[in-house]
Amino acid sequence: MCQTVDMNDDARTPAEEVGVLLKEAQSLLHQRMDERLRPLGLSVPQYACLQALRDSPGITGSELARRVFVSRQSMNVLLQGLAGRGLVERSEQPGPRRERATVLTSAAAGLLDEARGAVAGVAGTMTDGLPADDVARLRALLAACRDALAGAPSTADGRP
Amino acid sequence: MCQTVDMNDDARTPAEEVGVLLKEAQSLLHQRMDERLRPLGLSVPQYACLQALRDSPGITGSELARRVFVSRQSMNVLLQGLAGRGLVERSEQPGPRRERATVLTSAAAGLLDEARGAVAGVAGTMTDGLPADDVARLRALLAACRDALAGAPSTADGRP
DNA sequence: CAGCATGTGTCAACATGCTGACACTGGACA
DNA sequence: TGTCCAGTGTCAGCATGTTGACACATGCTG
């Protein structure tokens, strides 16, 4: 893990450049998503939360927080907001480990479909200039970077 | 340029998957950088600010804010903190357009070199598992995504 | 059985970033 | 020349996220 990088000149290492590009691309993507989602009354974390709940209904708040990359407390207030708008429903009687299972309501399904369309459009503008095999390659490379940073081998979760 | 996205099933489009991977990788990279930078007394935005000042000395605070992807106000308080620690110096007499040129101090140079080494190490762990040409390809693909998101005004919803 | 580690939900205090607003400067344009 | 507009720095208020702490439930271990 110890790479003695040469810091004596102005040049950035290719790895650093990838890091900068990563931040720039993600920041712009987040910004574009926010522009599209806000008219629907959703923030990007809220959309990510709904999307995660759609993929895994009945999930606990803590697991949700991990997937959306926020703390349990932030996810809690986020869920309170969504519950107040009738988009999610939290089981009142806690489960085996004091867990409160959370599910989407039917009202959320329609809104989420609309939001998914908007997000897919934004993501499309990002990759439309690239041939399909380049997109696939980019996906594989990003997955490799993520796994390397997570430290977990995780066998690159094959999801074709 | 054809993204008539099919939202009727659970599948995500390849573009969406790239977006999710982008967020996951960037979030993990930010986390790892923070772990390395905090012992040096720097946050990630502070490091990015110093790095930008190293690349372009005498830059204005607003331009700095744009490069670091924060607002002018946030950059202002960030610069106040750095100035209080003697890492940057802001010209007291404003320039042509009330601008206050900001430069690094000699004390910052040493700290920044150390921080750059740490960041380069983190970035290295991200790309060490990839061959050099894959890193170059990843860089080119990310740059293409960034440019597409930065240049595209907003015509992604459907085909107008 | 008692004790303890783990996982979860929640509350309070704190930090950070952003939006809105204002003052000031310099250049463009009628 | 006078006026408007873009760019910058700054202040106040608000929204959001995080850390730290506590209570509760479950399962493992002595």
pLDDT single digits (tens) A5-63: 545 556 788 999 999 999 999 999 999 999 999 999 999 999 999 999 999 999 999 99
**Which pLDDT value is given to residue B99?**
82
Identity of the residue in B28, B132, B149 whose CB atom sits nearest the CB atom of A150: B28
Domain-embedded: residue A18: no
Q: What SS3 state is found at B97?
A: coil
Number of structural domains in chain A: 1
Domain-embedded: residue A20: no
The answer on pLDDT for B77 being more than 90 is yes
| CATH number, domain with residue B70 | 1.10.10.10
SS3 string, chain A, reads CCCCCCCCCCCCCHHHHHHHHHHHHHHHHHHHHHHHHHHHCCCHHHHHHHHHHHHCCCECHHHHHHHHCCCHHHHHHHHHHHHHCCCEEECCCCCCCCCCCEEECHHHHHHHHHHHHHHHHHHHHHHCCCCHHHHHHHHHHHHHHHHHHHCCCHHHCCCC
Domain-embedded: residue A2: no
Q: At what angle do helices A132-150 and B14-37 cross, to 10 degrees?
A: 30
Identity of the residue in A129, A132, A137 whose CB atom sits nearest the CB atom of B137: A137
CB A139 within 8 A of CB B17: yes
* CA-based nearest distance B67→chain A, Å: 9
Structural domain range at position B86: 39-143
Domain-embedded: residue B89: yes
Domain-embedded: residue A1: no
Q: B119-142 pLDDT, tens per residue?
A: 999 999 999 999 999 999 999 999
What residues are paired with B88 via a beta bridge? Answer: B104
Domain-embedded: residue A121: yes
B74 nearest nt, CA–C1': C17
Domain-embedded: residue B66: yes
